[in-house]
Amino acid sequence: MEKVDTGSSRTPLFSGALAARTRAEHTDVDDTRIAYWVYEPVRVTPETRTILVVHGFRGDHHGLLRVADQLTEMRLIMPDLPGFGGSAAFGATEHSVAAYGGFLSGFMAALGLGPDTVLLGHSFGSIVASHFVAANPGAVAELILVNPIAAPALEGPKGLMTKLAVLYYEAAARLPQGLGLALLRSQAIVRVMSVTMAKTGDKDIRRFVHAQHSSYFSAFADRDSLLQAFKASVGNNVSEVAGQLTLPVLLIAGEKDEIAVLADQHKLAARLPDGTLDVIPGVGHLIHYETPEPAARYIRRFLKDHAA
């Protein structure tokens, strides 16, 4: 069982029940060793569902733990994506959105997850999850996207910053290995990113956010797979497949999100055949860290509304 760091801050970050719900597992998907975690419901109810969770770029399953902790009646399954956290990188396959979709198919088959499964993706995970659903209609029952990447990252006001980030990852991949890894794992760069994204005024939660990024943002397999995954994250978006997402879709957006801006979330919601948009005020791209309670409440309501 994985130890859950409940923190020492005055702000309660996790309940005491999360550790007891947690089970760490491994499986092989197409010869790739995958680490995943299962969070069993505290009590099975008529509303209990199985939710497969796909984390964001450079994250791992730790990022969604505060949301899992709120959904005590749900069974959540959180793999580390290939190349991140405790999972191995793909062997001979590029780390593309299509490859990650193929991984989801194999992972669901390995665990016997059927079409009643709920699929949830955060940030880059929203791209992987939406493209998987578009390519595999009927594979899951509902789709939940938290901080979804709703528009092309290389276009619009944030395009310049994205292009600079591409140069950063390409430079790190070309440098001698030691220098390249040092650049990618620079705690100074990680902290700047963390400070930029955090919007909460709660000092304890800010401290927690920075500690999470410091601990897990550099848990990637190697430079090549990281560069491939980054290019996949900025070269694709949910809107590309919006019209093919005919199942019920919930979008949970942050009012102050500077990566997935709110105006694009409204445009994406309008393109979905059966979409719902809920906006959490005062938060940016870190809903999963800063505002897990309202996120869980919207998820619970959405699934109850679509229980049939």
pTM value is: 0.94
% residues pLDDT > 70 (the chain): 94
Predicted pLDDT at 158: 67
Predicted pLDDT at 6: 44
CA atoms of 182 and 176, how far apart (whole Å): 10
Greatest C-alpha distance within the chain: 56
Q: With contact defined as beta carbons under 8 Å apart, do 86 and 27 qualify?
A: no
Beta-bridged to residue 25, according to DSSP, are 36
User: Is residue 151 over pLDDT 70?
Assistant: yes
Predicted pLDDT at 1: 44
Predicted pLDDT at 5: 52
pLDDT bracket for residue 161 (50, 70, 90): confident
User: Is residue 118 over pLDDT 80?
Assistant: yes
Q: With contact defined as beta carbons under 8 Å apart, do 69 and 7 qualify?
A: no
Which tens digits make up the pLDDT trace of 86-116?
Answer: 999 999 899 999 999 999 999 999 999 999 9
Which tens digits make up the pLDDT trace of 20-60?
Answer: 999 999 999 999 999 999 999 999 999 999 999 999 999 99
CA atoms of 98 and 59, how far apart (whole Å): 19
Predicted pLDDT at 205: 94
**Do the bridges between strand 32-39 and strand 75-79 make them parallel or antiparallel, or are there none, so unpaired?**
antiparallel
Predicted pLDDT at 163: 80
Q: With contact defined as beta carbons under 8 Å apart, do 110 and 31 qualify?
A: no
